Structure 1
Amino acid sequence: MSKKLILLFALSTTSCLNAQTKAEQAIKTFEQKYPQEKIHLMLDKSSYIAGENLRFKSFVFDGYTTSAISTSLFLELYDSNKNQIGKKMIPLFNGEGSGNIALPASLKEDIYYIRAYTSWMANFSEDFQFIRPVTVYNPSSPSKLIADFGEWKASVYPESGSFIDGFNTKVAVRIQSSGIAPSEWEGYVIDVDNPDTKITTFTGFDQNIGLFHITPKIGKKYQLIVKDKNGRKQNVMLPTVTSSGIGIQVVADKDNIKYTLTSKDISQDSQYYTVLGTINNQLVYKAKIGKISEGSQYSISNQQLVNGILQLTVFDDKEDVISNRLVFVQPQLLKVKQPSLQSVSLKNTPRSKNSFDIPKDDNYSNYTVLVMDANTRSTEEDQSLLSSLWLTGDISSPVINPAQYFTKNRNTEALDALLISEKWTRFNWKSIISGNYPKIRYQPENYLSFKGKVNIEGKPAPKTDVNLIFSSGSGPKVFQVKSDDSGFFVLKNLIFEDSMKFSYQLNSDSKEYNNNYSVYFQPNFNFIPYSKNLPSVSYKLTPRLPDDKPSEEINRVINALNTQKIISEKVINIEEVKIKGELKNKTKKLNNELSSALFRSSHEDVFDFVNDINTSSAINILQWLQGRVAGLSLQSQNGTSIPYLRGEKTTVYLDEMLATPDQISNMSTSEIAMVKVIKGFFAGGFAGSNGAIAIYTRRGNSDGKIIDRSQPSQLRQITLSGYDKETPLENPVYESDSFKNIVSDTRSVLYWNPFLDAQSQKSVPLEFYNNDDAKKYRIIIMGYDKNNDIPLYYNEVMP
């Protein structure tokens, strides 16, 4: 995690507590060298029909803060037979990314699976990659999906794994099913020799977990009988009662985590015991205990901890694990920010205009916003940003509806019982103590990276200079690279969508190589095969009968798909009219010619030096900008003017490549075609939310107004594939006559913006239009305070 947690010590009852154990050294190495990423993926809907666009927003975390390790996210779509039917690669900006997957209209009705991972995550267990089933309907498919009430299985987990004679023990009961798990179930415990007497009874908390207490006695055999509301029953034997051992009992309250060590008839071979507490593989607590006294309780203050899973492990003096327990820190008080919406205007009339403002908070560069017809289910109702961050991102077993443990009406006892049934599998203590760490096969790259090879007359060309002339929508960009001793070179840190063409030429005066050389490229990134089996789901396929008709909900979605196509066509037509009307605006035309999509923002100041502005008297472009851009100031450092925007150092780009202020300090303004100052978040930014100064140099074109720079001759051309381009969700504007003739509007997603700029105004305004019959709206807003490692999360139904 970005902020190091403080190591808390308990009073040592033996020798020096500060002596570092092998376990401590091992966990420090694991934390520093093997950080663990996890993913949350929010979809715009929970189910789809064939032909729709599946849209997603991704958050990649390193522990409990957004990850700075990976800059690319890989997504794959599988059918139920594990055949890959689609894949995407998207860039990550401060751990966040978004995109869409077009579901072919030919897809058969079935359950499909989205897999999301980073290259760094592929070094570790696949259990922690993101896999989500997605329901796709298709009324023309020969088979249809129906609910599958499959067999379920119950398992028992005594707290800390010990079942000791005479000790009152909490026992978690875990339900797992290949289909729909029972929502209502109960159980009781009997002595096998006296089956007519119920020792204790309990009712399951939810579809995952239940809990009971029992004081076992040596020589007794206990059996658990679990029964669901349909009368299905299962018998489970409890563990054999032991006459000796060590156990740990844990209680988490608002202020402290309290634990008690219990023991019975243990040997005196161990001179002391060590208790280590870790959060996100980071050591946060240590205690050394010489003798386990009956009923001795220890307390860990929550003051220096964070919400998340704390692993408490008891070691003997040989550093063998004696007992282990997972517990959630402060489940009663979740540290979550929630915006208070302002200027709320929500109506339930057909096609009405609705709006609200999100108050500005300087800790957020952007928000993710989804507004739905409240009758449509969101994926956040099952697995939320909070549950991925704090629970399922760190455990490997399937959990039904994990979001329930982090809602306003959450059951903290159920969450604790769930963690009794879990083990921390990010690492194994015995393995890392012995020095057995994961093998790193995939290093994270900075965005796109390509390996090139130069051949001359069919042989590798070492130490050879090559000119590369890129064309990415913002004019030519010339780079010179030099091959290594084997003829290879690497292009790093590229960000572009779809494809990018470029030409190349040897930087040599020799004519003998003009037709006898070549440059080959291969990407330094790969989609990595998935070896595990896909998870089971609660649906199965059955033949569709001739008289089967689609449900009302499916008909609504089909109608919405057709409506969305009409909306998109009208928006495109409107944009084409706008573009034609704006051709006379030469500055906008120049901006479109020179700047790529990643360097465009709704909050930018553009200065046109070709058509508009006379800079003949300007000495330095940054000095010229000062006084013309609100919030821009210059500070002199070692004789160089450093630009600051809103009091913070900002980034300079030259033809959309990172540049330093001294690189442009002596640049003639006659060489500049356009400058734009971007305020707030933009997709191509490296410097967070503080915007940038983008300078574009003059290039040759037909009107003769731009300087024509000499270009290398006899160029050869090649194309590189980049990130997958996102298709935005087009929204109707019913105040415009263009949308008046839409017959029916049954859209369930009314607004979707995975990167809503949060820095440019005092508050962030948002507008959307209702469908034909929605009476309530589900509004979901997500963000992450990277300064304080606190999620922002809003998920409410209004009005």
Structure 2
Amino acid sequence: MKFRFMTKRIILLFSMFVFLSNVKAQGKAEIALETFSQKYPQEKIHLVFNKNSYIAGENLWFKSFIFDGYNLSSISTSMFVELYDSNKMQISKEIVPLLNGQGSGSFTLSESLKEGIYYIRAYTTWMSNFSEDFQALRQIVIYNPSSTEKLVLDETSKWTASVFPESGTLINGINTKCAVRLQSKGITPSEWNGYIIDAAKPDVKLSSFKGFDQNVGIFSLTPKTGVKYQVVLSDSRGNKQVVDLPYVADSGVNLQVSTDNDAIKFSLKSKNITPGTVYKVIGTIGSQMVFKVASDKILEKTYSIPAEQLINGILQLTVFDEKESIIARRLTFVQPGLLKIKKPEIQSMKLDESPRALNSLTITPEQNNNAYTVMILDGSAENPEDENSFLSTLWLTGDITSKIDKPAQYFIPSRNNEALDALLISETWKRFDWRTIMSDRFPLISYRPQPYISYKGKVSIQGMPASNTELNLMFEIPEYGSKLLQVKTDDKGFFTLKGLLFEDAIKFSYQLNDPKIPAEQVQVIFQPDYSFVPLKKSLPESYYTLVQRHTEEQLSETVKRYVATKNTQSNIDEKAILIEEVKLKAKKKDLTKELNERLSSPLFKSMNEAIFDFVNDNNSANGYMNILQWLQGRVPGLTIESSRGSSIPRYRGSTINVYLDEMLLDPSQINTIPVSDIAMVKVIKGYFSGGFGGGYGAIAIYTKRGGTTGSLSDFAASTKLKKSILHGFDKEISFVSPDYNDQNFSKISQDSRTTLYWNPYIEAETKDQTGIQFFNNDDAKNFKLIIMGFDTKEYVPIYFNESIK
């Protein structure tokens, strides 16, 4: 499978931090890595919810960011989201459209859900070709006071520990850092310590250390062959573990790494190695090679990789011998003390902690950021970003499959960089395995990304395939009339509709283009050209356990508040009869978006389109005789070529069609259309459903007098035809907040909302500042403001997660 969109991406990343030293001819490793990088890009997903836990009967909202390495992904245009209970029973599922690598949706949590731990799984079709361990699988707590059992934190499960020497080996006489990693089904202790002993002399402490956090600690040891070393660990509650260290080898190579803001330095320490042996070290970030050295003098030097030439992320250093066998490897983080994070520019902040007071702020747009996600919480509420944050998914957990407690802590201002380095000593890279790809064993591609939603149809006449037959599809779209689309079947009677972009369901009628064939003899069967992929692996263990609820037992303060909030939200929803009116009070009306909604039918909508508005902005086009000439140079990838007096539009080298009021038109006829008669032009990039079976790209021109010319004004023509329904993306539930300036909300008796504002997609590519307004609840004295975005040119997250007063 070829990824046209990947070529520029790879060149940009490689030129951004390539640093090759003493490069020789490519070996198996380099060739395998290049193949893997070009053909098998890998996506990862960050999920953020509107809050940490829920009560049965509430709505759950989520936002997703899909990354291809360290940039927002352009591979997938759809995301699958599934809700499971703790028994791996699927409760609900949705398909969500992705715009510039971002998507959002919601689930309604049934009143009948029992109290317990539930799981939300998110993945793309392309991700299904790789390990399920890299799919997003998040635990959520759902309370239900009517359940016979209640959730309590599991503080009784024992913890275990493992020791990981740096680069994997202990070698006689070589001082080596060793990471100690804790794991538990329940909660691991945050306060613990340990000491090292010779098992033959258990009363003599060789050295002592203290754990950094609930995940990891570190110590150094100069081992001797023949000695059995152990580490004795204990926590603040008196629990104790004794762990054996790996045996000590009398020869070998040990890779030692140190990282700071200026450089990553490494050296190879050896014992009893034949002089003149050639070793090769390859450094990779993701699946990109950023460093290489091969030399017979490598054991004598310390190498330094300039950090400013790299981006933040996990760097994997792998040592190969002359036969390209792996003898050592190590993960480290690039510039842990200098995280490249852009903060959004927040202005005009007006905060009032009074009950139900109006608060406001504005965000200045970033040039290379398409959209912001904004969430505002009661300052006393749990923060959904405290456990696993946008930053920790991008830089750590999206590529690490093992369980890490509170990974967000490694990317906060008060982070411990030494703890992160120790954590990475205990990890190995799982995105690809060197031995596997060097043996030409690459992932089996069973699932290919489809543009948005695609359907495959089969036409039959009296049960026999209708080969090479033209079929008329008449889509019934109340806002636009009926839209006629013509497709042609293949030799077996099949056809495909690609790039469908609509919510809920759309009705359509059909008939063959041949009037001689009676309609009753024709049958069209549709099936989605996409599928939810069953989850094979087991669900992860939870920090919680279920215990019997006593009849007279009082609810916790958290659950009491959730019950009150659910009742409050029900009242708010009832008051907000016209939800869109409530939304429009909080944001500026977008006239261009309104024009696009009015003129474009759903068949000519795409999440990858460039719109030019000639009603609200003249766009300086009146001096042009041909609108195609005006488009030249205004859309990246679009070129207009001249041939025999006609203008031929091409997108990224491929010829694309031109439509006038959604009717196919020869480009030569554009010369007859005065620019002054044009209301809107849109350039659709990629597949869309109106292009005769899913065309790849188009220029759609809408005239001021034509509107949606080519559409029928009523459904009369289709009443006698056979009808069917296609299902589109799942519709997201609107997040409704009260407007206490409106008297309709004045009778709400109690407001205990924890999420005061939620907007998963605020467009940022505007000249104007984005204004945000929200009303306080009854008791919040400060607020937590979370803003997320991404600079797609500098590969830098835009992130703000702070308490504000």
Bin the TM-score by the shorter chain. 0.7 to 0.9
The reply on whether 1:640 has 2:628 as its aligned counterpart is yes
Query: Letter of the aligned partner of 1:172 in structure 2?
Result: A
- Which residue of 164, 172, 193 corresponds with 1:157? 164
Check the 8 A contact 1:640/1:661 in 2, yes or no. Answer: no
Match of 2:749 among 726, 738, 743: 743
2:708 maps to what in 1?
A: 697
- Stretch of structure 1 that moved more, 626-635 or 660-669: 660-669
How far is the alpha carbon of 1:574 from its aligned partner?
Answer: 7.5
Preserved contact between residue 147 and residue 540 of structure 1 (Cα < 8 Å):
yes
The residue number in structure 1 matching 2:519 is: 514
User: How far off is 1:544 after superposition?
Assistant: 0.5
Equivalent positions of 1:192-231 (< 5 A) are 192-231=199-238
Tell me the secondary structure at the aligned position of residue 388 of structure 1: helix
Letter matched to residue 253 of structure 2: I
Structure-2 change in CA distance of 1:430 and 1:766 (3 Å): same
Contact kept in structure 1, 2:501 and 2:602, CA below 8 Å: no
In the alignment, structure 1 residue 237 sits paired with structure 2 residue 263? no
Map 1:339-358 → 2, pairs under 5 A: 339-358=344-363
| C-alpha separation in 2, matches of 1:589 and 1:319 | 60
2:373 to 368, 372, 388: 368
CA deviation profile, 1:207-243 (whole Å, cap 9, x unmatched): 1111111111111111111111110111100111111
> Cα 1:446–1:725, aligned 2, differ >3 Å: closer, same or farther?
same
Tell me whether 1:764 sits opposite 2:778 in the alignment: no
Distance in structure 1 (CA, Å) of the matches to 2:327 and 2:593: 70
Question: 1:207 corresponds to which letter in structure 2?
Answer: Q
AA at the equivalent of 2:32: A
Q: Secondary structure at the match of 2:765?
A: coil
Residue 393 of structure 2 corresponds to which residue in structure 1? 388
**Counterpart secondary structure, 1:642:** helix
Q: Distance in 1 between matches of 2:220 and 2:636?
A: 58
What's the CA shift string for 1:567-614, capped at 9, x where partnerless?
1121115769999xxxxxxx999998766699999xxxx9xxxxxxxx
Q: Does residue 1:778 correspond to 2:787, yes or no?
A: no
Q: Which residue type is aligned with residue 788 of structure 1?
A: E
Aligned partners of 2:663, 2:105: CA distance in 1, in Å?
25
Q: Does residue 1:798 correspond to 2:786, yes or no?
A: no
* Residue 4 of structure 1: aligned partner: 13
Q: CA shift at 1:764, angstroms? A: 1.0
User: Which residues of structure 1 form unaligned runs of 5+?
Assistant: 580-586, 607-621
CA gap 1:264/1:575 in 2 versus in 1, 3 angstroms: closer
In the alignment, does 2:39 pair up with 1:33?
Answer: yes
- 2:694 aligned partner: none
Letter in 2 for 1:332: G
Shift of 1:471: 2.5
- So what's the TM-score if we normalise by structure 2? 0.87
Q: Are residues 693 and 262 of structure 1, via their aligned partners in 2, closer, same or farther at CA, if it must alter by over 3 Å?
A: farther
Are 1:471 and 2:459 matched, yes or no? no
1:140 aligns with 146
> What's the CA shift string for 1:550-575, capped at 9, x where partnerless?
12221111111111111112111576
The structure-2 alpha-carbon separation of the partners of 1:658 and 1:381, relative to structure 1 and needing over 3 Å to count, comes to farther
Does residue 106 of structure 2 align to residue 108 of structure 1?
no
Compute the displacement of 1:669 (Å): 9.4
Q: Given the alignment of the two structures, is residue 400 of structure 1 paired with residue 405 of structure 2, yes or no?
A: yes
User: Is 1:58 aligned to 2:46, yes or no?
Assistant: no
* Distance in 2 separating the partners of 1:645 and 1:172: 55
Q: Post-superposition shift, 1:788?
A: 1.8
CA distance in 2, matches of 1:359, 1:136: 37
In 2, Cα distance between equivalents of 1:36 and 1:649: 24
Structure 1 residue 664, shift from structure 2 partner: 8.0
* 1:200 Cα deviation from its structure 2 partner: 1.0
Query: Where do 1:143-542 residues align within 5 Å?
Result: 143-149=149-155, 150-267=157-274, 271-294=277-300, 296-472=301-477, 473-510=479-516, 512-542=517-547
Structure 1: distance between partners of 2:146 and 2:354:
33
The 1:129/1:592 distance shift into structure 2, 3 A limit, reads: closer
Kindly provide the amino acid, as one letter, of the partner of residue 803 in structure 2. Answer: V
The count of corresponding residues between Structure 1 and Structure 2 is: 754
* Mean CA deviation greater in 463-472 or 72-81: 463-472
- 1:166–1:638 distance in 2 versus 1, CA, 3 Å: farther
Distance 1:376 1:171 in 2: 38
Supply the distance in 2 between the matched residues of 1:552 and 1:692 (Cα, whole angstroms): 57
Deviations along 1:3-38, one digit per CA (max 9) or x if unpaired, are: 2224745654xxxx3311110000000000000100
3-state SS in 2 of match to 1:391: helix
Q: 1:188 to 1:414 in 2, by over 3 A?
A: same
RMSD across aligned positions (CA): 3.5
Counterpart residue type for residue 749 of structure 1: T
Task: Report the alpha carbon displacement of residue 692 of structure 1 after superposing the two structures with TM.
Answer: 9.5
Per-residue CA deviations over 1:511-570 (Å, capped at 9, x if unaligned) read x43321101011011110111110011100001001112122211111111111111121
User: Relative to structure 1, is the Cα distance of residues 764 and 639 closer, same or farther in structure 2, using a 3 angstrom cutoff?
Assistant: closer
Measured at CA, do residues 179 and 484 of structure 1 come closer, stay the same or move farther in structure 2, by a change above 3 Å?
same
Identity of aligned residues (%): 49
Distance 1:288 1:762 in 2: 53
TM-score w.r.t. length of structure 1: 0.88
Closer, same or farther in 2 for the Cα pair 1:777/1:428, shift >3 Å?
same
Compared CA separation, residues 577 and 448, structure 1 to 2 (3 A) = closer
Please give the alpha-carbon distance, in whole angstroms, between the structure 1 residues aligned to 2:582 and 2:399: 51
Partner of residue 87, structure 1: 93
After superposition, what is the alpha-carbon deviation per residue over 1:472-496, rounded to whole angstroms, capped at 9, x for unaligned?
4433221111111111111101101
CA displacement, residues 123-145 of structure 1 (integer Å, 9 cap, x when unaligned): 01111011111000000101000
Q: Which amino acid aligns with 2:126?
A: W
Letter in 2 for 1:795: N
> C-alpha deviations, 1:243-300, integer Å up to 9, x for none?
10001000111111000111100246x8411110111111111101204435x21111
Give the superposition deviation at 1:167: 0.8
> In structure 2, what residue type is equivalent to 1:390?
W
Conserved? CA contact 2:312–2:395, under 8 Å: yes
Alignment match, 1:584 = none
Residues 159-209 of structure 1, C-alpha deviation per residue, up to 9 Å, x if partnerless?
Answer: 000101111110000001001111111111111111111111111111111
- Against the structure 1 CA distance between its residues 255 and 661, is the aligned structure 2 distance closer, same or farther, given a 3 Å change threshold? farther
Name the CA shift for 1:666/1:504 in 2 (closer, same or farther; >3 Å): farther
2: distance between equivalents of 1:56 and 1:667?
48
- Contact 1:476–1:699, Cα closer than 8 Å, also in 2: no
Which stretch of structure 1 is more off in the superposition, 661-670 or 424-433? Answer: 661-670
- Structure 2: where are the runs of 5+ without partners? 1-8, 585-591, 639-650, 652-656, 691-698
Q: Match of 1:767, as an amino acid?
A: Q
1:762 CA drift (Å): 2.4
Asked whether the 8 Å contact 2:199–2:229 carries over to 1, the reply is yes
Q: Is the 8 A contact 2:484 2:711 kept in 1?
A: no
Q: Tell me, in whole angstroms, the C-alpha distance in 2 between the residues paired with 1:217 and 1:656.
A: 81
Q: Which shifted more, 519-528 or 651-660?
A: 651-660
Contact 1:169 1:215 in 2 (8 A): yes
Question: Quick one: distance in 1 between partners of 2:45 and 2:735?
Answer: 23
Residues 600/520 of structure 1: CA separation in 2 closer, same or farther (3 Å cut): closer
How far, CA to CA, are the matches of 2:18 and 2:583 in structure 1?
Answer: 62
Q: Is this contact kept in 2: 1:635–1:644, CA < 8 A?
A: no
Distance 1:370 1:129 in 2: 24
Structure 1 residues 709, 798: CA separation in 2 closer, same or farther (over 3 Å shift)? closer
Does the aligned pair in 1 maintain the 2:79–2:96 contact within 8 Å? yes
Give distance in 2, aligned partners of 1:204 and 1:368: 36
